[in-house]
Amino acid sequence: MTDLEKQTFVDRFAAAWAAKDGAAFLALWHPEGQLHYPFANRMIRGDEIGMLNDLTKVDAPHLTWSLVGWTTRGDVVVIEWESSNRYGEHLVTWRGVDKLTLRDGRIIEEVVYADTAPLQALRQGKPFEALIQLPD
């Protein structure tokens, strides 16, 4: 892919998130692609991306996503992002990275790296405590 094609891909990826548009997400994916997503209970196939988008809109209607930065090497695009969501009175913000492997300009594999521990603690009604407590 050329630099312009990579930039166009990232722009389309960010636009799909901004619009929360299942069809726009689906257009980015090979049907046989694989999404490894720490927020789901299993690997998600490329042809299921529209369904994932629909579930996310229902389960997290206040979810936001914004592009922080990106880089590429060969057919791999790495995107850093920031998300937030409101859970009752709590606004939680977190960051993550997506490693996307492209084939013919479409995602054949995506691995999402994000720390789910703060969200898991909130879900369980517990305060999130860091594993390492540094002195003040």
- Cα separation of 81 and 94, whole Å? 9
Q: Is 134 a member of any domain?
A: no
Domain range for 105 is 3-123
Q: What is the pLDDT of residues 100-119, one digit of tens each?
A: 999 999 999 999 999 988 88
* DSSP H helix total and E strand total for the chain: 4, 6
According to DSSP, the β-strands at 64-73 and 76-87 are: antiparallel
pLDDT interval class at 14 (50, 70, 90): very high
Q: Domain for residue 131, yes or no?
A: no
Tokens 């003040």 label which residue? 136
- Domain contains 135: no
Q: Which amino acid, 135?
A: P
pTM: 0.88
Q: What is the CATH number of the domain that holds 15?
A: 3.10.450.50
Q: Read off φ and ψ for residue 10, nearest 5 degrees.
A: -60, -40
Do the bridges between strand 44-45 and strand 90-103 make them parallel or antiparallel, or are there none, so unpaired?
unpaired
Question: Does residue 13 lie in a domain region?
Answer: yes
Tell me if 130 is assigned to some domain: no
Residue 20 lies in a domain: yes
Domain tally, the chain? 1
> Residue 116: what pLDDT?
87
Give the whole-angstrom CA distance, residue 66 versus residue 44: 22
Cβ-contact 45, 53 below 8 angstroms: no
Has residue 129 been placed in a domain? no
Identify the band that residue 8 occupies on the pLDDT scale cut at 50, 70 and 90: very high
